[in-house]
Structures are given as C-alpha cells and as structure tokens.
C-alpha cells in the first residue's frame, strides 16, 4: 500500500473519532521520527509541526527513563492528549470538558484496529495478474494447393497488425483449431491474393487441412501461438 492510501485510511479513522467524540477539535498522527503521518482536514501542517516540536523535548526526556505511553496537558481553553499507538503518536486537542478516559479508550480501539487492517493489507501479497491472450478469431477456410505452398497459413494483414499491437510483438506463428477439436501450430504470412483480402479468410495448405479435417468454406478458430 502506498503512503497516500495509508494516510487517507488514518485520516478517515481520525474523522470517525471526531464523529464519536465531538469534544475533539483537532487530531493528527506522527511517527517516532517526528514525521507527520496523517492529520484531520482542519489542522494545518504548521500547527502540527509546532506541536511536535514542543513535544520533542518531553519525548527525549521520557526516552531516558523508558518510554512515553501518554501525555496530557490541561489548559484554560481545552486539553491536549498525546498517546503512544503502535510506534506512533496520536495527538488530540479536545474541549476542557472532554472525558479523557473515554476518549483514550475510543481512540485506541479505532486507531489500533485500522492499523492492524492496514498491516494485513500490506503484508498480503498481491496475486500476479495472468498475462492476457490475444483474442481469437473465427475465419473461413480457403485451401492452398501446389508444390510450392509450403507449411505457412495466410491471413489478413490487418488481423496480424491487431494482434501485434495487443501483444506488443510481431506474430510469426498461430494456432489453428477446427470445431472437431483438432489443432495445430503453423507459421503465418499475410494473404497474397488481393481478391481474398479483408474477407475474414484463412488460406491453409491442403496437407494441413487434412490434419485438421477441415474443408474449404468451413470455420476454424485462429489465435497467436503462446510465447
């Protein structure tokens, strides 16, 4: 999960705390490195940085005796509450009448739950997306005969170009499958007879037609060979 999505999830959690506890006016979360992780929409970054700077000296003194789990400041206009949550600090500004015990329990439940969920999402590997196959086409069979026809089938240039754009590589071999289930791999070229171009046809040498058990005028399914 990227940092933006992580921050948005925590911001939503802070909004939920404010909905449950209207006494909360400001809230944000910052790391032990003093970097802001997320904050509510009403608290500007300058205010958050000032509070973190003021808190830094207290945190440093606390580190010498162990750790700081919670810090409360009671003022004339309200309260400031800082608490340790999963290696981060949660800072709240609330009215002077706010129930500190209730607020502390609610915030821990919500924030810890969200952090556990984010940890689960982050640690769960994303399954790889299987490569997409180029779409197959049903084409009408036309037979190729003669001593020099070779082993290649012929299809429209436009279809070869469509597959090449999809696969981002040229197509030199296709899989031809008859409706009876017989299939074979063939080298492929563009149709050399201008009268048959653009008519949804595939020209197949007679010996390959026998292998597939197909005749002129029948349909076959054609797709680029897997690479």
Mean pLDDT, residues 192-212? 90
Closest among 133, 129, 210, 142 to 175, alpha carbons compared: 133
Contact 190, 172 (CB under 8 A): no
Can you name the residues that pair with 224 across neighbouring β-strands? Answer: 174
Kindly tell me the burial class for residue 3, based on how many C-beta atoms sit within 10 Å of its own C-beta (0-12, 13-18, 19 or more). Answer: exposed
Asked if the 3-123 domain carries CATH number 3.30.450.30, the reply is yes
pLDDT value of residue 41: 77
Closest among 77, 76, 75, 80 to 100, alpha carbons compared: 80
Q: Name the DSSP class of 133.
A: P
**pTM score, two decimals?**
0.48
Kindly tell me the burial class for residue 129, based on how many C-beta atoms sit within 10 Å of its own C-beta (0-12, 13-18, 19 or more). Answer: exposed
Domain boundaries, the chain: 3-123, 137-224
Residue 64 has pLDDT above 70, yes or no: no
Report the SS3 class of residue 14.
Answer: helix
pLDDT value of residue 116: 77
Closest among 45, 40, 43, 35 to 15, alpha carbons compared: 40
Give 165-190 pLDDT, tens digit per residue. Answer: 998 899 999 999 998 889 999 999 99
Give 74-96 pLDDT, tens digit per residue. Answer: 777 788 888 788 778 888 888 88
The CATH class for the domain spanning 137-224 reads mainly beta
Give 67-78 pLDDT, tens digit per residue. Answer: 566 677 777 778
pLDDT value of residue 126: 61
Mean pLDDT, residues 130-134? 67
Give 7-61 pLDDT, tens digit per residue. Answer: 888 888 888 888 888 888 888 888 877 788 888 877 888 888 888 887 776 666 6
């Amino acid at each position: 999960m990227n940092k933006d999505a992580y921050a948005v999830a925590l911001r939503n959690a802070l909004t939920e705390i404010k909905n449950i506890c209207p006494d909360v006016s400001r809230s944000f979360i910052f790391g032990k490195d003093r970097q802001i992780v997320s904050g509510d929409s009403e608290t500007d970054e300058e205010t958050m940085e000032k509070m973190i700077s003021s808190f830094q000296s207290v945190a440093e003194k606390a580190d010498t005796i162990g750790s700081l789990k919670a810090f409360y400041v009671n003022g004339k206009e309200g309260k400031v509450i800082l608490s340790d949550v999963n290696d981060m600090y949660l800072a709240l500004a609330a009215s002077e009448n706010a129930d500190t015990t209730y607020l502390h329990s609610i915030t821990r439940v919500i924030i810890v739950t969200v952090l556990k969920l984010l940890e689960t999402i982050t640690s769960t590997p994303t399954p790889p997306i299987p490569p997409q196959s180029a779409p197959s086409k049903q084409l009408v069979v036309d037979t190729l005969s003669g001593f020099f026809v070779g082993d290649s089938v012929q299809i429209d240039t436009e279809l070869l170009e469509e597959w090449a754009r999809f696969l981002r590589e040229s197509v030199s071999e296709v899989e031809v499958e008859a409706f009876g289930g017989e299939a074979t791999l063939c080298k492929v070229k563009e149709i050399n007879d201008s009268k048959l171009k653009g008519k949804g046809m595939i020209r197949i040498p007679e010996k390959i037609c026998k292998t597939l058990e197909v005749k002129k005028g029948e349909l076959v399914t054609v797709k680029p060979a897997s690479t």
